[in-house]
């Protein structure tokens, strides 16, 4: 069992509020910023009249999951939370903290052996970032902008030399999304290669291939009005110029940068995530 008062105290150390509910059915909250779930516990960042707070819901089951804060960094406003499924024994870890303007929760891949906030941040960096940051000191590695990359939320932008693509292949004001209804980041200029063409709408936020799209619109007369958008899944994406998002400070990239997503999609709680642009 988890000590709710102890957990609330740990979150208070980073300046955050925590609310917990037990034995509730999993349902979509009315106000949602982020969401992670491992089947026995769900973490959300919600808002009320006092502002944002972390919401932990212990889902149904004979035994409640064990929750434990492994590390707290008050000055950095981050902590590392572990949720152990009492039935399966699976341990899921989440980095909870404040990034620029809002609180966030990020699922850590189960394969990553992490026990501190610092290790969790490193585990969220994809291999392309890990290889680029060699030689940087610990402080510079966690800056949003350094010699290796520029970061905005869950996206890393790595300087690269791809020459100057054909102007007809350069797109303007393109969205960058994790899928499943996430609020997209907008790229001023975008160039992409490879990947799979998919059709995306609010009902199919991770996208469907051409055959599935054709079947849907043939069997459902209303489907053509779903507001479909043609995007590419898991393409090699490059961008430059202004990158904007309502929850983050606008960044300006000089020259082409490779776009890579953090490693949340490797975690069980986030297996539904797709890289769409």
The tens digit of pLDDT for each residue in 11-69 reads 999 999 999 987 655 444 434 445 555 567 888 899 999 999 999 988 765 567 889 99
Mean pLDDT lowest among 5-9, 26-30, 124-128, 160-164: 26-30
Task: Output the pLDDT for position 179.
Answer: 62
Which residue would you say has higher pLDDT here, 269 or 224? 224
pTM of the model: 0.78
Among 121, 140, 171, the domain boundary falls at 121
* 271 to 105, 165, 180: CA distances (angstroms): 15, 33, 11
Q: Is residue 228 part of a domain?
A: no
Same domain, 115 and 188: no
Domain assignment of residue 179, yes or no: yes
> Could you tell me if 105 and 166 lie in one domain?
no
Pick from 26-30, 80-84, 86-90, 133-137: least confident: 26-30
**Are 121 and 41 a contacting pair, CB within 8 Å?**
no
Total tally of structural domains belonging to the chain? 2
pLDDT at 85: 78
Give me the domain span that covers residue 92.
4-121
Q: Note whether 13 and 114 are same-domain residues.
A: yes
- β-sheet with 236-245: strand ranges across: 150-152, 155-159, 248-261, 236-245, 185-193, 171-176
Residue 241: per-residue pLDDT: 97
pLDDT at 234: 75
pLDDT bracket for residue 98 (50, 70, 90): very high
Do 169 and 107 lie in a common domain?
no
pLDDT at 79: 98
Q: What pLDDT is attached to residue 276?
A: 47
My answer on whether 31 and 89 are in the same domain is: yes
CA 111 to chain CA centroid, nearest Å: 17
The percent of residues in the chain predicted with pLDDT above 90, rounded, is 54
Mean pLDDT, residues 235-242: 92
Q: Which of 93, 109, 102, 118 is nearest to 34 (CA)?
A: 102
Q: Determine which helix (DSSP H) or strand (DSSP E) holds 46, and give its type and residue range.
A: strand 41-48
pLDDT of residue 37: 57
Judged against a pLDDT cut of 70, whether residue 105 lies above it is answered with yes
Q: What is residue 275's predicted lDDT score, i.e. its pLDDT?
A: 46
């Amino acid at each position: 069992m988890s000590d709710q008062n102890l957990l609330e105290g740990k979150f208070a150390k980073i300046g955050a509020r925590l609310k917990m509910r037990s034995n509730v059915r999993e349902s979509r909250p009315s106000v949602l910023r982020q969401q992670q779930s491992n089947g026995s516990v769900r973490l959300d960042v919600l808002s009320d009249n006092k502002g944002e707070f972390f919401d932990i819901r212990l889902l149904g089951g004979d035994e409640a999951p064990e929750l434990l804060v492994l590390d707290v960094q008050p000055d950095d406003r981050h902590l590392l939370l572990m949720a152990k499924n009492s039935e399966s024994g699976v341990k899921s870890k989440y980095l909870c903290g404040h990034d620029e303007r809002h609180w966030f929760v990020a699922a850590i891949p189960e394969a990553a052996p992490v026990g501190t906030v610092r290790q969790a941040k490193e585990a969220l960096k994809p291999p392309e970032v890990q290889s680029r940051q060699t030689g940087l000191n610990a402080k510079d590695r966690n800056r949003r902008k350094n010699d290796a990359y520029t970061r905005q939320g869950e996206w890393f932008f790595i300087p690269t030399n791809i020459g100057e693509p054909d102007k007809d292949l350069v797109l303007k004001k393109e969205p960058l999304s994790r899928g499943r209804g996430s609020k997209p980041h907008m790229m001023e200029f975008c160039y992409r290669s490879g990947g799979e063409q998919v059709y995306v709408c609010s009902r199919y936020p991770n996208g469907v291939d051409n055959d599935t799209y054709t079947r849907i619109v043939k069997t459902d007369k209303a489907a053509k009005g779903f507001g479909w958008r043609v995007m590419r899944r898991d393409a090699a994406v490059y961008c430059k110029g202004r990158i904007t998002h309502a929850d983050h400070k606008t960044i300006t990239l000089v020259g082409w940068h490779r776009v890579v997503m953090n490693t949340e999609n490797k975690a069980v709680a986030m297996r539904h995530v797709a890289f769409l642009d």
